[in-house]
Structure 1
């Protein structure tokens, strides 16, 4: 198995660990918030479960681990499937269902933003939210197009050949857009923590968020790096059609 695939798996694991660490170790800002209130001058510990914080942690976990990391594994299914000795059919199935799972997690992550106590529209005024909506729409269209054009053999080989480069391009673009959207969400959250909660930028939590963002960017780079050289290498050796009209060896990563 190629070194870049192993590194992409390691970076994905690191991203998942960092997100879970943020969720569990910093409960005051990302999970259920507990704080002390003063009544008649006497400080009493009051546990207040703010559902907006719960929805935020669910949104973060579903989008980063579910949508981005599952989506990345689905994108690389053709690569690590070859390393495991899988035939073309199982690789296509793994690609299809991992991407489908990622789409499901993404929709669930979007729905958590409809549950906040500020209402629906209050969560869709930022650039982060607009990028997220665009990303999900592209991902859904991409998955549907891939299913109809490649998994369903009713389409002719010529139509699939014409659609394949667009499938590859939109897939890479959408995945990169998802990572960029997550990075903008991290920046948005850091600004909120600093202005609303007074958390200093030199705090341990801010350091963790920065490391998470950097690791996520590196993971995205590894995924794209793993895809592009293989696409060029295999496309140069592709044959067009057999005597029966079957597409033989066009082994693009998203096919």
Structure 2
């Protein structure tokens, strides 16, 4: 992998920021918002931001970059597809439960549903995410799907995944701001910036930073998983004539500056191996 140390720094930063955001969300709902329950009351609503942040944002972010973890490159691409799909499925389940919690709370408290921009963007993201998951499984995990369909849909699948990830973070920012406005009307008001407001504003910044780091990792072409043909040639033809044409071994590719330069050269000399289907 090119710039391997930089990758590790950004990946570690994303993990730390994401976990801190989840801790902040737990602290917010337990300390400031009265805890968790499933009784149609305010404590049930608290599942909404917690599951949204921990599942729909954090797990989705992990699913987006799972292919780019170099220590997973030794595994077959099909295995990583299942890992990617499983993470997205769990994230979707979290999102559905979070959505049910907020509708249940609104109905019990006679609060109108679907009147805010947050609700519009959020529900649209959940529905489109489910559609993305179904299409992804159908196209990339079903063996009978034509290869041409997979190749044609891949740019759309990649773009829509990143777009939905950004939309989910935007919905979360709108939601936590809306919740603060409703929770902090007087004594103290949100505009007076009480401790809860500062705390949740920092949570929002953490979500933005996490999203930015995930998107940076996901959009670096040099950190993309090599094609299956290329990886197979490194494993099976090391030291052979084909291996000498393709380039250095995996151990060389991950060994310092020389490995980075060699890997860059390999990518330039082996674009024909790029896997556009998977």
For residues 25 and 102 of structure 2, the distance between their equivalents in structure 1, rounded to whole angstroms, comes to: 18
For residues 150 and 51 of structure 1, the distance between their equivalents in structure 2, rounded to whole angstroms, comes to: 39
Unpaired runs of at least 5, structure 1: 33-48, 241-247
Instruction: Say if 2:122 and 2:171, in contact at 8 Å, map to a contact too.
Output: yes
Instruction: Say if 2:65 and 2:218, in contact at 8 Å, map to a contact too.
Output: yes
1:19 and 2:25 aligned? yes
Which of residues 136, 152, 160 is equivalent to 2:142?
152
Match of 2:12 in 1: 6
Count the aligned residue pairs: 227
Task: Please tell me the root mean square deviation across aligned C-alpha atoms, in Å.
Answer: 2.7
Which of residues 59, 69, 75 is equivalent to 2:58?
69
Instruction: Say if 1:30 and 1:56, in contact at 8 Å, map to a contact too.
Output: no
Instruction: Say if 1:67 and 1:103, in contact at 8 Å, map to a contact too.
Output: yes
Match of 1:250 in 2: 275
Q: After superposition, what is the alpha-carbon deviation per residue over 1:71-97, rounded to whole angstroms, capped at 9, x for unaligned? A: 1111111112x3344332221111010
Instruction: Say if 2:121 and 2:167, in contact at 8 Å, map to a contact too.
Output: yes
1:53 and 2:78 aligned? no
Equivalent residue of 1:76, what SS? helix
For residues 153 and 18 of structure 2, the distance between their equivalents in structure 1, rounded to whole angstroms, comes to: 29
Which of residues 181, 185, 198 is equivalent to 1:195?
185
For residues 216 and 181 of structure 2, the distance between their equivalents in structure 1, rounded to whole angstroms, comes to: 31
Match of 1:130 in 2: 120
Question: Greater share of helix residues, 1 or 2?
Answer: 2
Note the C-alpha offset of 1:60: 1.1
Match of 1:45 in 2: none
Unpaired runs of at least 5, structure 2: 228-266
Question: Greater share of strand residues, 1 or 2?
Answer: 1
Q: After superposition, what is the alpha-carbon deviation per residue over 1:26-72, rounded to whole angstroms, capped at 9, x for unaligned? A: 2xx3537xxxxxxxxxxxxxxxx984321221111111112111111
For residues 92 and 108 of structure 1, the distance between their equivalents in structure 2, rounded to whole angstroms, comes to: 24
Note the C-alpha offset of 1:11: 1.3
Note the C-alpha offset of 1:195: 1.8
When normalised by structure 1's length, the TM-score is 0.80
Q: How does 1:50-199 map to 2 (within 5 A)?
A: 51-80=40-69, 82-84=70-72, 85-116=74-105, 117-119=108-110, 122-195=112-185, 198-199=188-189
Q: After superposition, what is the alpha-carbon deviation per residue over 1:155-202, rounded to whole angstroms, capped at 9, x for unaligned? A: 121111100000000000001000000000011011112226644532
Match of 1:39 in 2: none
Instruction: Say if 1:99 and 1:143, in contact at 8 Å, map to a contact too.
Output: yes
Higher relative contact order (CA 8 A, sep 6+): 2
Note the C-alpha offset of 1:250: 1.8
Equivalent residue of 1:124, what SS? coil
Q: After superposition, what is the alpha-carbon deviation per residue over 1:86-133, rounded to whole angstroms, capped at 9, x for unaligned? A: 3322211110100001111111111112212234x7131111001011
